[in-house]
């Protein structure tokens, strides 16, 4: 398996496991969630470098659907700031710590359009943007899951992927 021998894929997998553990408070049967996670690890194992670089973002965006706070892609020229509180894009321009700036919001919107990991091949992000999006997603999870806390694998992921 590539996940075991590839340092980058291994780090992405550790991030995915930690994120999943922080979300799942009570173990319960959920076949859809199991299949999603299984498929995600299988996809990561065979992913190209371009896909692997954006994979943690993809996983974090998709995982929200299983815990009731999925992001809604209603991004437009007017609604160009992502709201951490509402989980969608807004036209609010008042500065507050629940709104994400327009450039990062645009990239989040583009990533929400990825329906399969292979779609990530078409999304080119530099390290700085990827790092900012991962930080925004961590804040989003903190906002929506009580006692989520900070991610221990995120600094390592930042170092490897940006």
Tens of pLDDT, residue by residue over 46-93, are: 999 999 999 999 999 999 999 999 999 999 999 999 999 999 999 877
Q: Running DSSP on this structure, what letter comes out for residue 156?
A: H
Tens of pLDDT, residue by residue over 102-114, are: 999 999 999 999 9
Name every residue whose Cβ is closer than 8 Å to that of residue 73 and which is 6 or more positions away in sequence.
88, 89, 109, 112, 113
**Three-state DSSP class for residue 144:** helix
Pick the closest to residue 66 from 107, 14, 118, 20 (CA basis): 20
**Three-state DSSP class for residue 152:** coil
Tens of pLDDT, residue by residue over 17-55, are: 999 999 987 778 889 999 999 999 999 999 999 999 999
What's the pTM value of the predicted model, to 2 decimals?
0.93
Question: Dihedrals φ, ψ of 82, to 5°?
Answer: -80, 135
Kindly give the residue spans of alpha helices, DSSP state H, lying in 6-149.
7-23, 31-46, 49-63, 102-112, 127-144
Query: How high is the pLDDT of residue 26?
Result: 77
- Residue 75, domain extent: 2-161
End-to-end CA distance of the chain: 24
Compute the distance between CA of residue 143 and CA of residue 161 in angstroms, rounded to an integer.
24
In the chain, how many domains are there?
1
- CATH number, domain containing residue 30: 1.20.1440.120
């Amino acid at each position: 398996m590539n996940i075991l021998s590839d340092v980058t894929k291994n780090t992405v997998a550790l991030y995915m496991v930690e994120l999943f553990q922080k979300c799942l408070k009570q173990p319960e049967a959920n076949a859809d969630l199991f299949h999603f996670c299984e498929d995600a690890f299988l996809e990561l194992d065979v992913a190209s470098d371009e896909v692997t670089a954006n994979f943690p973002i993809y996983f974090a965006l998709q995982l929200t659907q299983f815990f009731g706070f999925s992001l809604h892609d209603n991004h437009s020229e007017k609604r160009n700031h992502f709201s951490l509180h509402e989980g969608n894009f807004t036209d609010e321009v008042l500065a507050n710590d629940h709104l994400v700036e327009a450039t990062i919001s645009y990239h989040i919107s583009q990533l929400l359009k990825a329906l399969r990991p292979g779609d990530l091949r078409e999304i080119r992000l530099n390290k700085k943007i990827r790092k900012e999006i991962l930080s925004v997603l961590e804040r989003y999870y903190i906002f929506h899951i009580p006692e989520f806390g900070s991610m221990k694998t995120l600094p390592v992921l930042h170092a490897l992927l940006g």
